[in-house]
Amino acid sequence: MNTYSKKICLLGDFAVGKTSLVRRFVHNRFDDHYISTIGAKVSRKTVMAPGNSEVAELTMMLWDLAGSQEFSTVTASYLRGTAGAILVCDMTRADTLAHLPRYAEDLTKVAGPVQLVVAANKLDLPEQHQISSDQVAALAATFDAPYFLTSAKVGEEVDLMFRELGKLLLDRIR
């Protein structure tokens, strides 16, 4: 069985739920208390990714980056070697979706064209939504990326999203 390691970055504005998505995927936990991330927190999870003819072992190095719209040399250093990225927005804050193209642009500058996935998080707060699934779909289409309406709080589509990204990354090298 082939084994692979891939660097995956989570990008998006602060408090959209990047850390919570990683925590839900890696540890299957959720904490309602918001703690802002400084720098980068790297987590690791190994999954079995099915392909056309084989099952491969993929170690996902998940880079949970501080949410900031400012692009700097430090941010660039975090993005080097990225194979895939999850662009995360918060469905309760319209601006967070509008800012995603900027993150994708910065990433492409540093790491070239990488596999993207869009996550519209906080699906569990429908009464506060300012973003529709159609808007998310439209933006994801511009990146040629799949999108997922996620909830780190209840776990909705979180595992599916990470595994789908893993599969897409392996499809690129098979």
Partner 1 sequence: MLDTFVAQLILQERQIAYAIADQALRLEQIGGRLDLFESAGVCTAVGASLLDLARELIGYEDQVQALLAGTLSSFQVAMVNRENAAGELFYVTLHNYAYRRDNGAVTGILHIIEDVTLTGKNNQHLTQQRNELFLLYEQLRRANLKLEAANAELRALDALKSKFVSIAAHELRTPLASILGYIDFIFNDPIRTLHPDHQASVDVIGKSANRLLAITNNLLDVTRIEAGYVELTLGSVDLGKIVEEIASHFRPEFEQKQHTFRIEKEPRLPYALCDEARTMQIFSNLLSNAIKYTPDHGRVTVSLRYNPQKDVIIAAVTDTGIGIPAADLQNIGKNFFRASNVHLSRSNGTGLGLNITRSLVELQGGRMWIESTLGQGSTFYLTFPIDDGIFSA
Binding residues vs partner 1 (CB under 8 A): 5-7, 14-15, 34-42, 44, 59, 61, 63, 66-67, 74, 77-78, 80-83, 93
Residue number with CB closer to partner 1 (1 or 38):
38
Shortest gap between Cβ of 32 and partner 1 (angstroms)? 13
Residue number with CB closer to partner 1 (66 or 137):
66
Q: Give the helix ranges, DSSP H, for 91-147.
A: 94-98, 100-111, 133-143
Cβ(100)–Cβ(58) under 8 Å? no
Q: What's the CA gap between 149 and 66, in Å, rounded?
A: 21
Shortest gap between Cβ of 46 and partner 1 (angstroms)? 11
Shortest gap between Cβ of 7 and partner 1 (angstroms)? 3
**HSE (CB half, 13 Å, CA atoms) of 111?**
23
| Six token digits for residue 55 | 């099952």
Shortest gap between Cβ of 130 and partner 1 (angstroms)? 9
